[in-house]
A and B are shown apart, each in its own frame.
Chain A
């Protein structure tokens, strides 16, 4: 069966520090992968999605970036965090049916 892992689960970082959130999927090959951010009052915002290795689509201009170095690995990064980057970050992979997303447990980021 397929599983998705995200880490770290919780992160507290100072403003201006770098960020790296990692997501890996097991049990499937060449999945579409997604990063969403859930912030209070803003719902679920699509940040990046990837349809294959090295292929990244960015949805929101910001100081975040994403990379897909391997088929089942998706990384969210920042060189310098802002206070507004605080939120709950969710990684997901897309199953065989339209719109069928499977989400990880999320990474809660607090920028101080």
Chain B
């Protein structure tokens, strides 16, 4: 069975500082990996995904994540955060070519300090 671990439940960071949100997964088969974002009082929306090819994937709002197979990680990074990035971020995994079931981590709340 697949699982996702997000070790940090909350991450405080000053505005314009860099941030890394950690995600590790466990699976005996090949996987797809995702980051979802939940802004306050809203549903979740897909931020970025790794399916195949380049291990570095980017979102339109400056976030990037790198798939590291040897470390089974898919950490999310942004070089300079903005107050509008305040949200909860969820890492998710599904089995490659059998992705009916999508498993989420517990989430990391990103708190931007002025």
Main SS class of interface, B: strand
Count of residues in B whose CB is under 8 Å from the partner chain: 25
Interface size class of A (residues with CB under 8 A): 20 to 34
* Residues of chain B from 64 to 114 with CB closer than 8 A to chain A in the complex: 90, 92, 94, 96, 99-107
CA of A44 to CA of B91, assembled, Å = 10
Tell me whether B104 and A90 are in contact (CB under 8 A). Answer: no
Tell me whether B6 and A46 are in contact (CB under 8 A). Answer: no
Tell me whether B99 and A44 are in contact (CB under 8 A). Answer: no
Closest chain A residue, CB of each to CB of B91: A43
Point out the residues of chain A lying under 8 angstroms from B96, CB to CB.
Answer: 98
Tell me whether A98 and B32 are in contact (CB under 8 A). Answer: yes
Point out the residues of chain A lying under 8 angstroms from B90, CB to CB.
Answer: 43-44
CA of A101 to CA of B102, assembled, Å = 9
A32 within 8 A of B: yes
Write the residues of chain A forming the contact surface with B, with a CB cutoff of 8 angstroms.
Answer: 32, 34, 36, 41-46, 49, 51, 57, 59, 90, 92, 94, 97-101, 103-106
